[in-house]
């Protein structure tokens, strides 16, 4: 056993018990999700809690769409942070750039799968969405720009950005060598190449920011352009979506960074400065979002026509009040914590993670509240008030998607450095 093996960084290729266990858990979730989805495929979406608007007093969009929006939101912040790091040359944040990119890609995949889970004819959807694409539909924006286009962009970005690391890793013999060589695609870590690489990723980063804004705005338009649904139609829908995307994505990133820091013992690379920066950015986004929320609130309280009032009532003290207030509290506590940290200058990773988790609870809650109540309580026609609660199938599929996300992340982390490699 005298073979000289150089260890790959960040535990690539090494399988620990903990990792296996985590993988197993993620796998169980994924398989469960698959099973739930199979039920839906066989029996139709009658196994979900969704039903028609009107005489069925239901909501035809439910948990799936809420999570499509949520996943897309998460994806937003990942690539945004990565791009900002590149654009603003935030060198000390480099360590989290890769994980942010991966997070984006995975979240987008989950979002895409969420759409597939939602549609009634998934097989046909693949073909028809491309074959008969109607750019006039905001859904086109969601699927084509926000998911497919954006996924493509994110993948390209991840790929290009990873070429240098791949080239470095390709030098190390091992079973992934071929893969790294393919990824590196002839890239040599020469200064010129590095220079070229830097420039390319700078422009890519620059390009991706507006794409990002457009994509997430169209997502807002999916709702914001619908005159017929109180609570949806509005100009704040798009910026609001953007802000919330930032909040959830940053929260996610904080949690991810903290986990990886712990698992890989990266206390040095991902130091408190990284978290300070993330914390402040999250503070800004949260504050902006809370501002939007309050404005929207006040507008509807004041202008409230009956439909809007009915909706608001359901949110503030009706059926959805617990989700609403849970979300508000889950935003306000982090806001206070973040302000506190900013004011005192003392940043505590524990609190930050706590905030990151909370804002994601809020994000999920708010996504749900955007999607569902306008359907059940937002009818301009005098139908009876509707109701929606997800069934185990929907919850299963969503958990499955989350499991799949974790699975993909863990697998990625086992084949590619989750942080930019300094030197081998």
Partner 1 sequence: MARYGMVIDLDKCTGCRACMVACKVENNTPQGHFWMYVFRFEEGEYPNTRTWFMPRPCMHCDNAPCVKVCPVGARYKRLDGLTATDFDRCIGCRYCEVACPYGVNYFNWKKPEGNYYLDWDDPDLAEIVGDEKVVYANPDLDKAYGPEKRRIAGGGQAKGVMEKCTFCVHRLEKGLQPACAAICPTQAIKFGDLDDPESEVSQLLREKPHFRLLEEAGTSPRVFYIGQHAPNPSVRQIEEITVKV
Regarding 129 and contact with partner 1 (CB under 8 A), the answer is yes
Residues with Cβ within 8 Å of 175's Cβ and at least 6 positions away in sequence, in order, are 13
Nearest-approach distance from CB 396 to partner 1, in angstroms? 17
Nearest-approach distance from CB 225 to partner 1, in angstroms? 8
Q: Among 136, 186, 191, 345, which residue sits at the site for partner 1 (rule: CB under 8 A)?
A: 136
Regarding 117 and contact with partner 1 (CB under 8 A), the answer is no
Q: Among 8, 53, 93, 243, which residue sits at the site for partner 1 (rule: CB under 8 A)?
A: 53
Regarding 140 and contact with partner 1 (CB under 8 A), the answer is yes
Regarding 68 and contact with partner 1 (CB under 8 A), the answer is no
Q: Among 31, 54, 301, 339, which residue sits at the site for partner 1 (rule: CB under 8 A)?
A: 54
Q: Among 110, 143, 247, 254, which residue sits at the site for partner 1 (rule: CB under 8 A)?
A: 143
Q: Among 28, 38, 46, 206, which residue sits at the site for partner 1 (rule: CB under 8 A)?
A: 46
Regarding 376 and contact with partner 1 (CB under 8 A), the answer is no
Residues with Cβ within 8 Å of 293's Cβ and at least 6 positions away in sequence, in order, are 240, 328, 331
Taking the C-alpha atoms of residue 50 and residue 382, their distance in angstroms, rounded to an integer, is 20
Taking the C-alpha atoms of residue 18 and residue 413, their distance in angstroms, rounded to an integer, is 14
Which parts of 1-40 interact with partner 1 (CB under 8 A)? none
Regarding 235 and contact with partner 1 (CB under 8 A), the answer is no
What binding mask, one character per residue, do residues 300-339 give for partner 1 by CB under 8 A, x or -?
A: ------x---------------------------------
Which parts of 150-209 interact with partner 1 (CB under 8 A)? none
Using an 8 Å Cβ cutoff, are 77 and 243 in contact? no
Q: Among 24, 203, 383, 389, which residue sits at the site for partner 1 (rule: CB under 8 A)?
A: 383
List the one residue out of 294, 289, 253 whose CA is nearest residue 97: 253
Regarding 43 and contact with partner 1 (CB under 8 A), the answer is yes
CB-count burial class (<10 Å; 0-12, 13-18, 19+) for 387: middle
Both structure tokens of 420: 């930019």
Residues with Cβ within 8 Å of 238's Cβ and at least 6 positions away in sequence, in order, are 216, 217, 218, 220, 221, 224
Alpha helices in 93-142 (DSSP H): 94-118, 122-131, 138-140
Q: Among 20, 380, 411, 424, which residue sits at the site for partner 1 (rule: CB under 8 A)?
A: 380
Alpha helices in 345-382 (DSSP H): 349-371, 373-376
- Measured from the CB atom, the residue of 147 and 361 that comes closer to partner 1 is 147
74 alpha-carbon distance from chain centroid: 2
Stretch that binds partner 1, among 139-147, 151-159, 347-355, 360-368 (CB under 8 A): 139-147
Regarding 382 and contact with partner 1 (CB under 8 A), the answer is yes
Both structure tokens of 281: 């950015």
Taking the C-alpha atoms of residue 137 and residue 197, their distance in angstroms, rounded to an integer, is 37
Residues with Cβ within 8 Å of 343's Cβ and at least 6 positions away in sequence, in order, are none
Residues with Cβ within 8 Å of 255's Cβ and at least 6 positions away in sequence, in order, are 353, 356, 357, 360
Taking the C-alpha atoms of residue 231 and residue 407, their distance in angstroms, rounded to an integer, is 36
What does the DSSP 8-state code read for residue 144? Answer: I
Q: Among 9, 33, 58, 73, which residue sits at the site for partner 1 (rule: CB under 8 A)?
A: 58
Both structure tokens of 359: 């804002």
Stretch that binds partner 1, among 117-125, 253-261, 278-286, 355-363 (CB under 8 A): 117-125
Regarding 60 and contact with partner 1 (CB under 8 A), the answer is yes
Q: Among 18, 134, 210, 344, which residue sits at the site for partner 1 (rule: CB under 8 A)?
A: 134
Regarding 51 and contact with partner 1 (CB under 8 A), the answer is yes
Nearest-approach distance from CB 49 to partner 1, in angstroms? 10
- Measured from the CB atom, the residue of 233 and 354 that comes closer to partner 1 is 233
Residue 413: half-sphere exposure toward Cβ, Cα within 13 Å: 26
Which parts of 259-288 interact with partner 1 (CB under 8 A)? none
Q: Among 98, 229, 252, 367, which residue sits at the site for partner 1 (rule: CB under 8 A)?
A: 229
Nearest-approach distance from CB 398 to partner 1, in angstroms? 17
Count of residues in contact with partner 1, rule CB under 8 A: 50
Q: At what angle do helices 94-118 and 392-415 cross, to 10 degrees?
A: 150
Q: Interface residues with partner 1 (CB under 8 A)?
A: 43-46, 48, 50-58, 60-61, 115, 118-122, 124-125, 128-129, 131-134, 136-140, 143, 222, 225-229, 306, 375, 379-384
């Amino acid at each position: 056993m005298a073979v000289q093996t150089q260890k790959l960084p960040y535990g690539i290729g090494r399988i620990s018990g903990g990792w296996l266990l985590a993988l197993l858990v993620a796998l169980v979730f994924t398989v469960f999700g698959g099973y739930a989805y199979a039920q839906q495929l066989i029996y139709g979406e009658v196994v979900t809690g969704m039903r028609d608007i009107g005489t069925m007093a239901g909501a035809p969009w439910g948990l799936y769409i809420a999570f499509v929006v949520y996943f897309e939101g998460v994806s937003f912040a990942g690539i945004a942070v990565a791009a900002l790091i590149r654009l603003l040359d935030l060198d000390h944040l480099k360590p989290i750039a890769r994980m942010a990119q991966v997070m984006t890609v995975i979240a987008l995949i989950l979002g895409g799968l969420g759409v597939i889970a939602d549609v009634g004819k998934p097989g046909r959807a693949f073909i028809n969405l491309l074959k008969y694409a109607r750019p006039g539909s905001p859904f086109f924006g969601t699927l084509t720009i926000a998911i497919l286009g954006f996924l493509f962009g994110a993948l390209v970005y991840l790929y290009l950005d990873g070429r240098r690391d791949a080239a470095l890793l390709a030098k190390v013999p091992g079973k992934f060598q071929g893969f790294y060589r393919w990824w590196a695609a002839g890239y040599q870590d020469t200064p010129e190449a590095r220079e070229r690489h830097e420039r390319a990723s700078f422009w890519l980063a620059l390009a991706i920011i507006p794409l990002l804004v457009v994509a997430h705005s169209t997502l807002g338009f999916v709702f914001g352009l619908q005159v017929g649904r109180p609570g949806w139609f509005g100009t704040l829908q798009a910026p609001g979506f953007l802000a919330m995307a930032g909040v959830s994505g940053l929260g996610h990133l904080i949690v991810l960074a903290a986990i990886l820091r712990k698992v890989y013992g990266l206390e040095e690379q991902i130091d408190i400065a990284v978290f300070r920066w993330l914390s402040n950015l999250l503070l800004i986004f949260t504050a902006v979002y809370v501002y939007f929320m309050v404005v929207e609130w006040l507008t509807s309280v004041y202008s409230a026509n009956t439909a809007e009032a009915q909706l608001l009532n359901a949110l503030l003290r009706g059926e959805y009040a617990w989700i609403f207030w849970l979300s508000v509290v889950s935003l306000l506590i982090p806001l206070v914590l973040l302000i506190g940290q900013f004011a005192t200058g003392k940043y505590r990773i524990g609190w930050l993670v706590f905030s990151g988790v909370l804002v994601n609870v809020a994000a999920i809650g708010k996504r749900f509240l955007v999607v569902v109540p306008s359907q059940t309580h937002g009818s301009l026609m005098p139908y009876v008030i509707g109701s929606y609660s997800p069934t185990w199938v929907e919850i299963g599929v969503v958990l499955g998607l989350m499991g799949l996300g974790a699975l993909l992340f863990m697998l990625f982390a086992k084949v590619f450095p989750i942080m930019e490699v300094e030197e081998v």
